[in-house]
Amino acid sequence: MTTGYFPKREKVGLEDLFKGLVIASHILHYHGVLDAYGHISVRSPDNAKTFWMPCNIAPALVSSPDDLVEYNVEDATAVERDAKKGYLERHIHSEIYKRFPNVNAVVHSHCPEVLPYCISGVPLKASIHMAGFLGSSVPVWDASSHYASGSKHDLLVRDSQLGASLSAAFKPATSTGFIYSKFRSALPAQIGGSQEPDKEPNYAVVLMQGHGFTTHAHGIEEAVYQAIYTKQAAQAQTTALTIQNAHSGHTLEGKIDVEGGGKIKSAKVKAEGNLKYLSDNEAHDAWESNQGTVLRAWALWCREVEVHPLYKNDCPVCEDE
């Protein structure tokens, strides 16, 4: 959690974090970002070397502090020896926290609306202003070239080697894509702003070949926002591509080879119309404008799951709420 959701707090404590982590799991399920699989984690507010995430349970069924496990950032091992069984892919979270000290929340999802962009070769881009954080380029990380010798080739990030490779995709050595870190430092302090852009990832989201996507943020509310609007951006782009292809005519352009019987040489299919994406400046400015509204959305999403009979949150209520 961030202090933004608790304006009376000078410091966010574990009770806040537990309640927020349970609520976040429910919100992400309610909005179809998580199903029986996928997970969210939060760095511990009083120990940057550990993080918390639910045990091996469907996100909708997380309900109390007993369902949460504290892990060491260094190697994704549980802090408590008798901790409940955890998610196999907790190395996604630990390696991102290890590489990026300013990151405090991570979401990993197999959202079906995003999956086509993990396998088709069609790039996911910012096409709507609510998803400006995507920028003009979202990288696709492929696990196939990073498996350890003798390991299972099941696309799961089951060890630190794969986790480290995935985390590196958020800040490659060279990047011609949208530089996410340039505006992350401008975030208001109450929702986790940073003044160290050199420690920021270049990308807010990384797609995973044949698997899903992962996003990170400075706070839990912001991570939930990005996960939900990654889904919505993928929906909008897919729908736009579908209706564009259905509506637009296609012409074949090229040179006619008379001697070759009238065949068209170097032919290209030209479609009418063109899908409009946000420019780098538009993506930057759109996200900058939306930064201060994240808590408005968070308040709505909290209420949605609080009144829904499926979701139970038995975490203690803080005294000053």
Question: Secondary structure of 210-255 in the HEC alphabet?
Answer: CCEEEEEECCHHHHHHHHHHHHHHHHHHHHHHHHHHHHCCEEEEEE
Q: What pLDDT sits at residue 145?
A: 86
Place of tokens 């940057």: 48
Is residue 320 assigned to a domain? Answer: no
Is residue 292 assigned to a domain? Answer: yes
Say if residue 155's pLDDT is above 90: yes
Q: pLDDT band at residue 248, thresholds of 50, 70 and 90?
A: confident
Closest CA to 25 of 2, 58, 69, 70: 58
Tell me the two tokens of residue 221: 């509310």
Give the HSE-up count for residue 127: Cα atoms under 13 Å, Cβ half-sphere: 18
CA distance 317 to 40: 21
Tell me the two tokens of residue 148: 């350890």
Q: pLDDT band at residue 76, thresholds of 50, 70 and 90?
A: very high
Q: What is this structure's pTM?
A: 0.85
CA distance 114 to 131: 13
In 151-310, at which residue ranges do the beta strands (DSSP E only) sit? 205-208, 212-217, 250-257, 263-271
Active site residue: 10, 74, 89, 222, which one? 89
CA distance 131 to 145: 30
Domain that holds residue 212: 3-306
The tens digit of pLDDT for each residue in 82-99 reads 999 999 999 999 999 999
* Dihedral over Cα of 150, 154, 158, 161: its sign: positive
Q: What pLDDT sits at residue 75?
A: 97
Q: What pLDDT sits at residue 148?
A: 84
CA distance 186 to 180: 11
Is residue 78 assigned to a domain? Answer: yes
The alpha helices in 38-142, defined as continuous H runs, are 90-99, 116-119
Say if residue 175's pLDDT is above 70: no
For residue 278, what are the CA distances in angstroms to 136, 169, 287? Answer: 7, 22, 11
CATH code of residue 282: 3.40.225.10
CA distance 269 to 105: 44
- Total number of domains constituting the chain: 1
CA distance 190 to 57: 31
Q: What pLDDT sits at residue 275?
A: 85
> Do residues 52 and 68 make contact, with C-beta atoms less than 8 angstroms apart?
yes
The tens digit of pLDDT for each residue in 199-230 reads 789 999 999 999 999 999 999 999 999 999 99
Is residue 316 assigned to a domain? Answer: no
Q: pLDDT band at residue 177, thresholds of 50, 70 and 90?
A: very low
To the query of whether residue 113 is one of the catalytic residues in this protein, the response is no
CA distance 14 to 164: 27
What mean pLDDT is predicted for residues 34-58? 96
The one-letter amino acid at 49: K
CA distance 286 to 227: 17
CA distance 67 to 272: 53
Q: For 206, list phi and psi in degrees, rounded to 5.
A: -125, 130
What mean pLDDT is predicted for residues 186-195? 48
User: Percentage of the chain with pLDDT > 70?
Assistant: 79
Is residue 296 assigned to a domain? Answer: yes
Say if residue 176's pLDDT is above 70: no
Q: Kindly compute the dihedral angle of the four CA atoms of residues 160, 164, 167, 173, in this order, to the nearest 10 degrees.
A: 180
Q: pLDDT band at residue 192, thresholds of 50, 70 and 90?
A: very low
Is residue 315 assigned to a domain? Answer: no
User: Percentage of the chain with pLDDT > 90?
Assistant: 69
What SS3 class is residue 315? coil
Is residue 74 assigned to a domain? Answer: yes
CA distance 253 to 265: 9
More confident residue, 9 or 314: 314
The tens digit of pLDDT for each residue in 103-126 reads 999 999 999 999 999 999 999 999
CA distance 162 to 155: 9
Is residue 246 assigned to a domain? Answer: yes
Q: For 56, list phi and psi in degrees, rounded to 5.
A: -70, 80
The tens digit of pLDDT for each residue in 282-317 reads 999 999 999 889 999 999 999 999 999 999 999 987
The one-letter amino acid at 101: P
Q: What pLDDT sits at residue 6?
A: 46
